[in-house]
Amino acid sequence: MLLRSRITGTGSYAPEKILTNFDLEKKVDTSDEWITERTGIKERRIAKDAETTSDLCLEASKRALQAADMKPGEVELIIVATMSGDMPMPSTASLLQKKLHAKNAAAFDLNAACSGFLYGLSVADNFIKAGTFRKVLLVGAEIMSKFLDWQDRSTCVLFGDGAGAVILEKARGPRGILSTHLFSDGNLWDFICLPGGGSQAPPSAKTIKDKLHFIKMKGNETFKIAVRTLEKLVIDTLRENNLKPSDVALLIPHQANLRIIKATAERLNMPMNKVAVNLDRYGNTSSASIPIALDEVVRSGRIKRDDYILLEAFGAGLTWASALIRW
């Protein structure tokens, strides 16, 4: 029977602190009405000063391992999708390996911003299909709040912190990851970026003064491209698997903007009760958004055996990606 990779456990974690739109009204020139109307976000979670991305990874990973009935020592590979890791080196995955006591695992990070979890899912899936690894821990985790200019109302209202994790294992049969699809257009890199801190603009008094260590975003331009791109991405993914939108039990999109999510669903003629939405409570958690939403729908019982689940994301790079799963 066909060799596949199958998700056998999910887990998620978000910091305790909640920052509402009303709290933001006191920090920046904005309002709950303005944020809700344009994004659909009502609140987001914010990490403590001492909390690191690997701390969030650890809690989500523990829950995923427990759901999969797996011990840390059984994990053979750890992939952490993040753009807000603990430090430039070593990888956040290596720090997670230490905290988790997963002594038998290889570990590395992957950065495709908001598409990172799906890029990681594709990498893990292909490792398993190739026979390189049998049991993989994939985590999408971000502490976006530490990279925001809290005086820039166009970006600081959008993002939140959190982590989501899945366990993937080798399996045979019709169930599992059916396909993954990855795309990028580096010509549009400046639509969403964090320009400071790398080799192009190393940390200096000037980069700090110019606020280059904060996320920059061209919101309107990104919105227009995202809606068009995601519609084509979803249709192409289903077509390659000989499925129609009506065959999909649940669409789990990247949680960036409710208007983008609704526009994509509308163009696919898909009712919103078949779309997972939680950005009202978490905001945009970048690579963590899809695995957090996935964990929530799994634990709430919204996904049944043999359901077709479609995941899709769009983010900095620009990058976009999708995955089709038979649960």
The one catalytic residue among 21, 57, 111, 114: 114
Token representation of residue 35: 């944020």
The one catalytic residue among 21, 111, 257, 284: 284
Measured from the Cβ of residue 171, the count of other Cβ atoms closer than 10 Å reads 19
Token representation of residue 149: 């200019």
CB 160 within 8 A of CB 284: yes
Q: Hey, is 159 helix, strand or coil?
A: strand
CB 105 within 8 A of CB 75: yes
Annotation says 269 is catalytic: no
Per the DSSP assignment, residues forming a β-bridge with 30 are: none
CA distance 176 to 5: 6
Using CA atoms, how far residue 231 sits from 224, 236, 310, in Å, is: 11, 9, 12
Annotation says 193 is catalytic: no
CA distance 287 to 114: 4
Q: How far is CA 207 from its chain centroid?
A: 28
Annotation says 284 is catalytic: yes
The one catalytic residue among 21, 57, 111, 254: 254
Nearest to 116 by CA among 85, 87, 149, 94: 85
At 122, the amino acid letter reads S
Residues belonging to the active site: 114, 254, 284
